[in-house]
Copies of this chain bind each other. A is one copy, B any other.
């Protein structure tokens, strides 16, 4: 999906980011083509550690093109043998203000995935550990190659994976979540698929093909409609089922008033492809 030649390697330059200045960094490459923005963590030497720099960049790239109606899917991947090995240990052992910043950024990163108007997909081909596993579990979907492994081994060196557990508790059965958190044992991609941590598992050769199928399916839909649906999905989860249906009925009616819905239904009746207004 991402060819070396086509990669936009970000130069260290000051850009405005949430009212603070951010140095974009060589830790991340992005490609934005055909509606798909792939954000590639490429600090393979540090096993794509979610350092403060890396997280600031992920947040920046997750949000920077959200107003661009061409954007339809965001893919997060990692270069090298690790998708991501989690937080930067050096930063965690430094002063408390840096620790605080680290976890505030991690929370912000997770929130940005939840709030992103387009689906965010983790493409995993390697190790996803600790906060790296959290990142996978928090994405809307995840696909992984068979050689990938997932783990939350923080307790091995004294840092329980409490925040990764937030994501695991909401995506896999309790007995699997606590197994991963208490033992720190790695879980194979096949097992991650079995327990519902990832959407698809395939050979590494097929990874981009599988991803493309999913992306094409999303791109065939209206961006506005998908945004409405994603927003509501994460909203209704917090209500009891009857209240959720009540809100859902209102949301369906709101949906029906959108121009892209009228066009979608019309195209269905006329048996032709829809021409979405907002791409």
Residues of B with C-beta under 8 A to A226:
155, 160, 182
Question: Is chain A's binding surface mostly helix, strand, loop or mixed?
Answer: helix
- Please give me the residue from chain B that is nearest to A244 by CB atom: B166
Chain A residues packing against B (C-beta within 8 Å): 89, 92-93, 96, 99-100, 103-104, 106-107, 110-111, 114, 119, 140-142, 155-163, 165-166, 169-179, 181-185, 195-200, 213-214, 217-218, 220-222, 225-226, 228-230, 232-234, 236-238, 240-242, 244-246, 248-253, 255-256, 258, 260-265, 267-269, 274
Residues of B with C-beta under 8 A to A157:
264-265, 267-268, 274
- Please give me the residue from chain B that is nearest to A155 by CB atom: B221
Cβ distance A110 to chain B, nearest Cβ, rounded Å: 5
- Please give me the residue from chain B that is nearest to A239 by CB atom: B166
The 3 closest A-B pairs by CB, nearest first: A158-B264, A173-B196, A160-B229
Copies in the complex: 3
Cβ distance A207 to chain B, nearest Cβ, rounded Å: 16
Cβ distance A229 to chain B, nearest Cβ, rounded Å: 3
A141 contacts which of B161, B175, B213, B240 (Cβ < 8 Å)? Answer: B175
Residues of B with C-beta under 8 A to A263:
158
In the bound complex, do residue A159 and residue B89 qualify as a contact, i.e. CB atoms below 8 Å apart? no
> Cα distance A78–B95 when bound, in Å?
49
Residues of B with C-beta under 8 A to A107:
242, 245-246, 248-249
In the bound complex, do residue B265 and residue A93 qualify as a contact, i.e. CB atoms below 8 Å apart? yes
A236 contacts which of B169, B238, B261, B267 (Cβ < 8 Å)? Answer: B169
Residues of B with C-beta under 8 A to A228:
160, 162
In the bound complex, do residue A170 and residue B268 qualify as a contact, i.e. CB atoms below 8 Å apart? no
- Please give me the residue from chain B that is nearest to A111 by CB atom: B242
Residues of B with C-beta under 8 A to A179:
141, 199-200, 214
Cβ distance A154 to chain B, nearest Cβ, rounded Å: 8
In the bound complex, do residue B229 and residue A165 qualify as a contact, i.e. CB atoms below 8 Å apart? yes
Residues of B with C-beta under 8 A to A240:
237-238
In the bound complex, do residue A197 and residue B175 qualify as a contact, i.e. CB atoms below 8 Å apart? yes
Residues of B with C-beta under 8 A to A245:
106-107, 110-111, 163, 166
- Please give me the residue from chain B that is nearest to A165 by CB atom: B233
In the bound complex, do residue B249 and residue A158 qualify as a contact, i.e. CB atoms below 8 Å apart? no
19 additional contacts (CB under 8 A) given A107-B249, A159-B264, A160-B255: A93-B265, A100-B249, A104-B249, A110-B245, A140-B175, A155-B221, A156-B264, A158-B274, A159-B225, A162-B229, A162-B252, A163-B249, A165-B248, A166-B241, A169-B233, A170-B174, A173-B196, A178-B199, A183-B217
